[in-house]
Structure 1
Amino acid sequence: MADKLISIQDGSRIPICSLFRDTRLVFKADNLGWEILSIAVPSAMALTADPIASLVDTAFIGRIGAVELAAVGVSIALFNQISRIAIFPLVSVTTSFVAEEDALTAASPLVEDGESLEEGSILKAEINELIPDKDGDVQKPNLIHMDSNVVKVEHKRRHIPSASSALVIGGILGLFQAIFLIFAAKPLLHFMGVNYDSPMLKPAQNYLTLRSLGAPAVLLSLAMQGVFRGFKDTKTPLCATLAGDLTNIALDPLFMFVFRLGVSGAAIAHVISQYLISVILLWKLMQKVDLMPPSIKHLQFDRFLKNGFLLLMRVTAVTFCVTLATSLAARQGSKSMAAFQVCLQIWLAVSLLADGLAVAGQAILAGAFAAKDYDKATETAARVLQMGLVLGLALAFILGAGLPFGAKLFTRDVDVLHLIKIGIPFVAATQPINALAFVFDGINFGASDFAYSAFSLLIVAVVSIICLLFLSASFIGIWVALTIYMGLRAFAGFLRIGTGSGPWKILRK
């Protein structure tokens, strides 16, 4: 009885208590806090840079007219959702695998592939030089020999099989996506609610077809971002993304208004920016990793496909929910779609700030689990969840106060502005829920709990789709259904960790 009382007071055997342990330390500037922020802040900035660039596109296109704004909104939603089907599993699996391989490599940095410490490694040679010889004298190390070995190790590019696999898969998927979107643009837009006689069809098809040419660059760059995240380096992707997005923003008015290409100019600018990002990332990655594997067997396609398929199920469910919501908004007319596009872009862009914490949690946790450092895993999970909740509350306040004044940046249409104001309370109030949902995802991915993440989201998607179909008669109803969807996502993540099941049995110890 006494032991049980101590356990309840201590909270160490109650999994849910581990998530709220030491909440006063949420902003403590200790080593873990700095490690999380050093990964999360650049990652969040990189993640939000592209949606912000899309918002800039939206603002420029809104100056042309409400029809063009709605058309591009449908095309962006379609392109992004189809991209997510390929990108999300690839990036998430890559981050976890690279973090695990990097952690194991760090444990024995001087050992080459297939070579043990007992079989002629550099470390063994240096240790032997310090062992007394037959006369009892300590052998002096050959400093010249040691220095040359150290230099050789420091400058040797690492062999990370997952990095090579991710690039091959990303390139192939990008080509398939480009071909698919170019040839199926019209029927896909029709599925999204753009009828063949709609004035939105031509600008939507032009934008989607041109932007699809950048699909290979998008998937390659995001696969490389997954590799850098696994190395806990989110600054390099940030610099590359900023360079690309600033190029996009600079080219938008040039192509759209100076060359008078309209929505096609916005798509061309975006494609150029994506290829610039991929070139920068590839150049930087080649300096760190040997991307040519020793043989085809070193490419871990089976491991990628197994876990990637689970996440493919998950992202397909997520994608269908958001795509269905966009389609239902488009069926209500161009004004409803234009307002929904603005609200959705803001909703997604701001929510991705919390995804930076998810990336940090995933990268740190994957390394901690690989090294069997379960204390760090528990502490990391608790800290990023607490940070996520605080961030979500702050974003809710900022958006609730600022969006009523900022909506005019996107359109001057009175009817569209009225609908945007209806959506603002949902965009703002759901931020704490969104933040927790994203962070729970990152934590479960860090624990390689891909199966639970996939099957739980399938259940969430079924319930959410039913809600969308029943509530889609009005603009408000669609946002109520999306709120239910994000709430169920957060609850699914909470349920796994809060009950201490799966890999989180460590919270019961």
Structure 2
Amino acid sequence: MVGSPLRRANAHDREILRLAVPAFGALVAEPLFLLSDSAIVGHLGTAQLGGLGVAGQALNTLVYLCVFLAYGTTAGVARQIGAGDVRAAVRQGIDGMWLALAIGVALIVVGWPLIPWIVDAFGASPAVAPFAETYLRVSLFGIPSMLVVLAGTGVLRGLQDTRTPLLVSIGGFSVNLLLNVLFVIVLDWGIAGSAWGTVLAQTGCAFVYVVVALRAARRHGASVRPDMAGLRTSATAGLGLLLRTAALRIVLIVGTSIAARMGDPEIAAYQVGFQVWTLLAFALDAIAIAGQAITGRYLGASDVAGTRAVTRRMVWWGLACGVVFALGILAVRPWLPGLFTSDGDVRHLLLGSLILVALLQPVAGVVFVLDGILIGAGDGNYLAVTTLVATVVFLPAAFVLYRIDAGLLGLWAAIGLWMATRLLTLSLRARGDRWLVTGAVR
């Protein structure tokens, strides 16, 4: 009796690790892009680093409002795999990639004339704003590639393949780093060189995903032509996730805006601290990605008991990884600021921020895992509502702490309150049964 649960737990662990370990590399690609950019641009000056911080938040907002292209595709493809229809799974994924390309082109057209307004909305100072605008103008051309990468990653995750995204991410990060060194340091292109390096690296990654998707379609006899019905399905299926992501981005935008209004050293320190947070968030989200793929497949196969069991196991993994990451941040904290800046004020602010970033990691581990599990179940509407609730809790807390001059520590404390609210709402949902909808289509 004891051996059977242990064997099941070990089987779940192997399944989680098989998907989560490679997913880690793919997930950290984007924050590694920005971290490497930060390390190089930071030595150009504080204003340049602040400009990268503002531009990075704006770009992340544009791109990750469309994260449903990855998450929704993962859940939908995984359900089809669980139901045994691989051809339909590939077809659904290709529809998502066509939708990604169309949205990317539209964002370039709409976003270009709005760049000065976007930078101003983030509260960038006169010294920071020109660098933020320069980075944004170049980086907009990489948006279609970034979205195609999101959708292509979702296709492969749904097919239970996280190794290929790992290889693409390693290649993309390596090319990005080399191009940044070449353009910024060797050719002295400044912050524009950093943006061009990232755009070219992302375009290469998108090309690889297109090739992989075409081969899968040929292998399983799926059409690769745009299908209007499929495009509409992909767009409408991600509406709840779009609203959820919009609520998340409001928190991140407001955080950057508040830090920018505190001063140039504060926005520079927040930029680095936030990129450390994002890197670790995506690392924790590797388990959530496993949760999306596994949950979708189990529910597609109508295995509710298996879904429950693997959910419990993934939550424990999330908590344990959060504790490990917290200890890791505290261990490297004395030396980390020196990698990004020589400005004494920025380094001092960053040292304080990293303590709160570390303390939030165990909470983040559970939150990101539960979020991924519910995405895999297709529970986007609940996620949209409860993420909005958490955002409503965050906003007044952040503004009050800003008004009383609580500084960056106050801002990170408000982020902690936001995470605690998400932990409560996600835990309540996971304990119930309403998210356990079975079948190939939710």
The answer to whether the superposition gives a TM-score over 0.5 is yes
Shift of 1:445: 1.3
209, 219, 231: which one aligns with 1:281? 209
Question: Within 5 Å, which residues of 2 pair with 1:399-414?
Answer: 399-414=329-344
**TM-score normalised per structure 2:** 0.93
User: Does residue 1:502 correspond to 2:434, yes or no?
Assistant: yes
User: Does residue 1:481 correspond to 2:405, yes or no?
Assistant: no
365-374 vs 265-274, greater mean Cα deviation: 365-374
Alpha-carbon distance between aligned partners in 2 of 1:211 and 1:294, rounded to the nearest angstrom: 28
Aligned to 1:237: 165
Question: Within 5 Å, which residues of 2 pair with 1:28-43?
Answer: 30-43=10-23
User: Does residue 1:315 correspond to 2:245, yes or no?
Assistant: yes
Shift of 1:407: 1.5
Aligned to 2:185: 257
Aligned to 2:270: 340
Confirm or deny: 8 A CA contact 1:96 1:363 kept in the other structure.
yes
Aligned to 1:367: 297
Aligned to 2:58: 78
Shift of 1:159: 6.4
Confirm or deny: 8 A CA contact 2:322 2:362 kept in the other structure.
yes
Aligned length: 430
The letter of the residue matching 2:238 is: G
The letter of the residue matching 1:80 is: N
Structure 1 gaps of 5+ residues are 1-20, 110-156
Shift of 1:258: 1.5
The letter of the residue matching 2:315 is: L
Shift of 1:164: 2.1
User: Does residue 1:46 correspond to 2:20, yes or no?
Assistant: no
User: Does residue 1:185 correspond to 2:115, yes or no?
Assistant: yes
Confirm or deny: 8 A CA contact 2:429 2:435 kept in the other structure.
no
Shift of 1:456: 0.9
Confirm or deny: 8 A CA contact 1:392 1:434 kept in the other structure.
yes
Compared CA separation, residues 49 and 160, structure 1 to 2 (3 A): closer
Aligned-residue sequence identity (percent) comes to 29
SS in 2 for 1:300: helix
Shift of 1:158: 7.0
Alpha-carbon distance between aligned partners in 2 of 1:300 and 1:60, rounded to the nearest angstrom: 42
Question: Within 5 Å, which residues of 2 pair with 1:11-410?
Answer: 30-86=10-66, 88-105=67-84, 160-195=90-125, 198-290=126-218, 292=223, 296=227, 299-410=229-340
Shift of 1:103: 2.0
SS in 2 for 1:214: helix
Alpha-carbon distance between aligned partners in 2 of 1:166 and 1:302, rounded to the nearest angstrom: 10
Shift of 1:302: 3.9
The letter of the residue matching 1:402 is: V
Confirm or deny: 8 A CA contact 1:82 1:319 kept in the other structure.
no
Shift of 1:361: 1.0
SS in 1 for 2:160: coil
Alpha-carbon distance between aligned partners in 2 of 1:263 and 1:410, rounded to the nearest angstrom: 15
Shift of 1:28: 8.3
The letter of the residue matching 2:46 is: A
Q: CA RMSD in A?
A: 2.1
Alpha-carbon distance between aligned partners in 2 of 1:275 and 1:385, rounded to the nearest angstrom: 35
Shift of 1:165: 1.4
Which entry has the higher C-alpha Rg, 1 or 2? Answer: 1
Alpha-carbon distance between aligned partners in 1 of 2:272 and 2:162, rounded to the nearest angstrom: 28
4+ aligned runs moved over 3 Å, structure 1: 293-297
SS in 2 for 1:461: helix
SS in 1 for 2:28: helix
Confirm or deny: 8 A CA contact 1:83 1:177 kept in the other structure.
no
Shift of 1:199: 1.4
Deviations 1:309-368 (A, max 9, x none): 111111111001111000110011111100000100001111211111001011111111
Deviations 1:224-266 (A, max 9, x none): 0000000010111111111111001011111012211010000
Shift of 1:477: 1.1
Alpha-carbon distance between aligned partners in 2 of 1:443 and 1:478, rounded to the nearest angstrom: 28
Aligned to 1:134: none
Compared CA separation, residues 284 and 306, structure 1 to 2 (3 A): closer
The letter of the residue matching 1:430 is: L
The letter of the residue matching 1:59 is: A
Deviations 1:24-43 (A, max 9, x none): 96x98833211111100111
**TM-score normalised per structure 1:** 0.81
Alpha-carbon distance between aligned partners in 2 of 1:505 and 1:221, rounded to the nearest angstrom: 29
Shift of 1:482: 0.7
Aligned to 1:130: none
Alpha-carbon distance between aligned partners in 2 of 1:75 and 1:255, rounded to the nearest angstrom: 18
The letter of the residue matching 1:314 is: R
SS in 2 for 1:98: helix
Confirm or deny: 8 A CA contact 1:314 1:454 kept in the other structure.
yes
Deviations 1:277-313 (A, max 9, x none): 011111122111246358836x433433333111111
Question: Within 5 Å, which residues of 2 pair with 1:434-473?
Answer: 434-472=364-402, 473=405
Compared CA separation, residues 295 and 303, structure 1 to 2 (3 A): closer
Shift of 1:53: 2.3
Alpha-carbon distance between aligned partners in 2 of 1:96 and 1:486, rounded to the nearest angstrom: 24
Alpha-carbon distance between aligned partners in 2 of 1:220 and 1:99, rounded to the nearest angstrom: 19
Alpha-carbon distance between aligned partners in 1 of 2:145 and 2:280, rounded to the nearest angstrom: 24
